[in-house]
């Protein structure tokens, strides 16, 4: 069977990446945060092929959320400077990456994670600091003590990280800058006590507002979703799920063959740009189509509400050019754990 | 590395299947709906290893939601009578299964799907009838015409199907029976016009209430989730996601390493039986633990709200006995499309 030539020939549901839109997003971000000012977050796109394009754009330091992502990036030759921006309790898999020649830094926020990193063969850490998001991170005034403990165990402490995830969706720019500033005050105070070159923070929602961090951990910007799209960023929507209309009802709805198993649903239903979504079930999305604009066999594009958990449901990106021709396939090879 | 001996040694997050609970669910259903009275729905569990246990319990007819599920079941030797309970527009992959010796029946609800089935080499169909769920299915009074069209194209019409999915969560038994009865009136009228031996309908939520169908399409019953668990069925919770506490905050929360990428979130957050869930992010669930009962490194079990889209996020079931010992691993080999 020859490869599909256009999206109308793809087996559906198909996760489609618009290469011109993706390239525009990468260029926009690389201009705002060139080189090491951006540490792209692999969790958003989970693909070494995609990561290679970001490395080609000058970003050779990456951060990851899982050990699997770290392993895959190192195996793909993208292990020049990998940060696991997350706590783990078993560092032996990371230690093996260090042995194999990757540069591995891991977030730590407790005695247990510091001790585990040292025992597992990791050599470099960042102290993860709670800057207001109810998730990981030590109390800011405990950061210096943890850094001392780490150094006492022979670990190199490269600095601090703190994720102001609770501020990503603040819409008004002045309010966002002020709130991010307060969060970063906590992180900078911790950094004072910890030392090291790195203050790692931020994400797509605060990449412009966060002028305090030495590097920004953003990943969603290159693909986008309707949630981030509501914020008025300069990034454009670059992925969609192409589906086939498999059934039409005279009652005014049309059924697309992409459902709960093709989308991350934590931020709600996907969006159909040409009308309203009624609801999703396992393998279907019911679209409201009172004027019967759709026919059985038509293709429709649905836009995910949240990019990260959507991408993790698919095996590959079908990469298309501006004329909807499939020009490449990028495996989503960093899924699972 | 030797295989993990207990769930405390598994890499996390880990989808764990409790074999005694699963076996009890299978036995309960097989007593209520023996043999061909049940057509287990593969979409709920997406594993040929699990399906084999249901075949061993006497259910040798299965239904699927995707072509990939059909292909995997046939390849695993479970193709004695496979129903694709869903509409597709390209039947060539199904036609190849027929050629290879599988018995394949596919749902059709329009001229286009009937014609495609005939053109693609499928030989047997069910007429899919709209019984009230806003999804697939023809108008009941169009079913006879579609059956005639199918027979005119040389297809064998085995009967009708209609999924009363909108009634799964009706809690009160008498109300449920009455509403299911009304939905099945529509299906039986269509069956009158269509003919054939099969009236296929139902699911875990209506397996007892639907006394009109010749076979029930249920799958969730063998694993269960908190949504179905709220209905007072005789089925017990048989899967959970085991996760590790990777961080503790003095502010009263604990962070488990299973998040949006480990759960289907369309029915809401997973449940932590020992306390409250605050929120989920990509790779974390923040648990409220004001009394600091948890420590870094502890294992906790989280119960999914919706089984089908949760299972589809994992690579395997870790099968455990009543003493939490890992006794088997069942690949979730029917994911994707």
- For A313, the closest chain B residue by CA position comes to B313
pLDDT of B255-286, one tens digit each? 999 999 999 999 999 999 999 999 999 999 99
Give pLDDT, residue B231.
Answer: 87
User: Is A228 inside any structural domain?
Assistant: no
pLDDT of B79-89, one tens digit each? 999 999 999 99
Domain boundary among A191, A220, A249: A220
Helix (H, G, I), strand (E, B) or coil at B209: coil
Residue B89 Cα, gap to closest chain A Cα (Å): 6
Q: How many CB atoms lie within 10 A of CB B32?
A: 15
**Planar angle of CA A314, A317, A321, nearest 5 degrees:** 155
Give pLDDT, residue A266.
Answer: 97
Give pLDDT, residue B2.
Answer: 61
Q: Does A90 touch chain B (CB under 8 A)?
A: yes
Tell me the torsion sign for CA atoms A25, A28, A33, A36: positive
| Cis, peptide link before residue B164, omega less than 30° from 0 | no
Residue B268 Cα, gap to closest chain A Cα (Å): 8
The residues, ordered by sequence, that sit 6+ positions from B46 with a Cβ below 8 Å of its Cβ are B69, B311, B312, B332, B333, B334, B335
Q: Of B11, B65, B134, which is closest to A283 when you measure between CB atoms?
A: B65
| Cis, peptide link before residue A252, omega less than 30° from 0 | no
Per the listing, tokens 């589906």 go with: A243
Cβ neighbours of B139 in A, within 8 Å: 250
User: What range does the domain containing A215 cover?
Assistant: 20-220
User: Is A158 inside any structural domain?
Assistant: yes
What pTM, to 2 d.p., does this model score? 0.96
**pLDDT higher than 70, residue B173:** yes
Domain boundary among B197, B220, B243: B220
Domain boundary among B220, B243, B262: B220
Per the listing, tokens 């993990």 go with: B4
Q: Of A253, A312, A337, which is closest to B134 when you measure between CB atoms?
A: A253
Q: For residues B173 and B272, state if they share a domain.
A: no
Conformation bin of residue A121: beta by default, left when phi > 0, alpha when psi is -120 to 50? left
Cβ neighbours of B253 in A, within 8 Å: 134
Give pLDDT, residue A231.
Answer: 87
Strand partners, A105: A83, A124
pLDDT band at residue B178 under the 50/70/90 scheme: very high
pLDDT band at residue A1 under the 50/70/90 scheme: very low
Give pLDDT, residue B232.
Answer: 84
Across the beta sheet with A124-128, the strand order is A62-64, A82-84, A104-108, A124-128, A156-162, A198-201, A215-216
pLDDT of A277-329, one tens digit each? 999 999 999 999 999 999 999 999 999 999 999 999 999 999 999 999 999 99
- Chain B window 167-226: which residues touch A at a Cβ cutoff of 8 Å? none
- In this structure, what DSSP letter does residue B165 have? G
Q: How many CB atoms lie within 10 A of CB A229?
A: 16
Choosing among A219, A246, A262, A317, which should be mutated to test the B contact, i.e. which has the most B CBs within 10 A?
Answer: A246
Q: For residues B212 and B241, state if they share a domain.
A: no
CA separation for the pair B203, B201 (Å, rounded): 7
What integer best gives the mean pLDDT of chain B?
96
pLDDT of B192-230, one tens digit each? 999 999 999 999 999 999 999 999 999 999 999 999 998
**Planar angle of CA B108, B113, B116, nearest 5 degrees:** 130
Alpha-carbon separation of residue A191 from A128, A198, B208 (angstroms): 10, 9, 62
pLDDT of B303-328, one tens digit each? 999 999 999 999 999 999 999 999 99
**Long-range contacts, A29-36 (Cβ 8 Å, 24+):** A29/A207, A29/A218, A29/A221, A29/A222, A29/A235, A30/A57, A30/A58, A30/A59, A32/A207, A32/A208, A33/A207, A33/A216, A33/A218, A34/A58, A35/A59, A35/A60, A36/A60, A36/A61, A36/A215
Q: For residues A74 and A195, state if they share a domain.
A: yes
Q: For residues A123 and A268, state if they share a domain.
A: no
**pLDDT higher than 50, residue A34:** yes
Q: Of B109, B296, B336, which is closest to A110 when you measure between CB atoms?
A: B296
**pLDDT higher than 90, residue A248:** yes
Q: For residues B140 and B260, state if they share a domain.
A: no
Alpha-carbon separation of residue B247 from A71, A82, A168 (angstroms): 22, 21, 22
| Rg of chain A taking only CA atoms, in angstroms | 21
Give the CATH number, domain containing residue B189.
Answer: 3.20.20.10
Looking at the 3D structure of chain A, how many domains does it have? 2
What percentage of chain B carries pLDDT values higher than 70? 99
Q: For residues B78 and B141, state if they share a domain.
A: yes
Tell me the torsion sign for CA atoms B93, B97, B98, B99: positive
User: Is A81 inside any structural domain?
Assistant: yes
**pLDDT higher than 50, residue A118:** yes
pLDDT of B6-35, one tens digit each? 999 999 999 999 999 999 999 999 999 999
- In this structure, what DSSP letter does residue B42 have? G
Give the CATH number, domain containing residue A279.
Answer: 2.40.37.20
Alpha-carbon separation of residue A237 from A56, A264, A308 (angstroms): 21, 16, 14
Q: Please indicate whether, in this complex, the C-beta atoms of B247 and A109 are within 8 angstroms of each other.
A: yes
pLDDT band at residue A214 under the 50/70/90 scheme: very high
- For A314, the closest chain B residue by CA position comes to B336
CA A266 to chain centre: 15
CA separation for the pair B264, B262 (Å, rounded): 7
Give pLDDT, residue B43.
Answer: 98
pLDDT band at residue A2 under the 50/70/90 scheme: low
**pLDDT higher than 90, residue B164:** yes
User: Is B227 inside any structural domain?
Assistant: no
Q: For residues B200 and B252, state if they share a domain.
A: no
What percentage of chain A carries pLDDT values higher than 70? 99
Residue B53 Cα, gap to closest chain A Cα (Å): 23
Cβ neighbours of A311 in B, within 8 Å: none
Mean pLDDT of B92-116: 98
CA separation for the pair B3, B166 (Å, rounded): 43
Mean pLDDT of A202-209: 95
Q: Does B310 touch chain A (CB under 8 A)?
A: no
Give pLDDT, residue B191.
Answer: 98
**pLDDT higher than 60, residue B1:** no
Residue A5 Cα, gap to closest chain B Cα (Å): 17
User: On the CB side of B62, how many CA atoms lie within 13 Å of its CA?
Assistant: 34
């Amino acid at each position: 069977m020859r490869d599909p030539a256009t999206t109308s020939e793809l087996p559906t549901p198909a996760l489609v990446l618009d290469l011109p839109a993706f390239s525009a997003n990468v260029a926009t971000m690389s201009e705002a945060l060139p080189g090491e000012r951006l540490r792209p977050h692999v969790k958003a796109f989970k693909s070494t092929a995609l990561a290679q394009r970001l490395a080609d754009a000058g970003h050779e330091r990456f951060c990851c959320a899982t050990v699997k992502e770290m392993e895959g990036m190192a195996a793909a030759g993208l292990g020049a400077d990998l940060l696991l921006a997350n706590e783990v309790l078993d560092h032996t898999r990371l230690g093996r990456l260090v042995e194999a020649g990757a540069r591995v830094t891991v977030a730590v926020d407790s005695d247990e994670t510091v001790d585990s990193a040292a025992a597992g063969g990791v050599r470099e850490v960042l102290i993860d600091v709670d800057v207001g998001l109810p998730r990981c991170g030590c109390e800011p005034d405990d950061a210096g003590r943890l850094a001392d403990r780490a150094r006492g165990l022979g670990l190199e402490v490269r600095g601090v990280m703190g994720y102001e995830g609770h501020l990503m969706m603040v819409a008004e720019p002045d309010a966002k800058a002020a709130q991010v500033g307060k969060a970063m005050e906590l992180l900078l105070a911790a950094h004072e006590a910890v030392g090291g070159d790195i203050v790692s923070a931020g994400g797509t929602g605060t990449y412009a507002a966060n002028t305090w961090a030495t590097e920004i951990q953003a990943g969603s910007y290159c693909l986008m979703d309707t949630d981030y799209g509501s914020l008025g960023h300069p990034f454009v929507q670059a992925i969609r799920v192409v589906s086939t209309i498999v059934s039409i009802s005279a009652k005014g709805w049309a059924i697309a063959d992409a459902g709960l198993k093709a989308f991350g649903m934590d931020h709600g239903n996907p969006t159909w740009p040409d009308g309203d979504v009624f609801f999703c079930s396992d393998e279907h999305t019911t679209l409201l189509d009172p004027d019967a604009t759709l026919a059985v066999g038509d293709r429709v594009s649905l836009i995910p509400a949240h990019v990260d958990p959507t991408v993790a449901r698919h095996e590959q990106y079908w990469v298309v050019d501006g004329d909807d021709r499939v020009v490449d396939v990028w495996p989503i090879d960093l899924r699972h754990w």
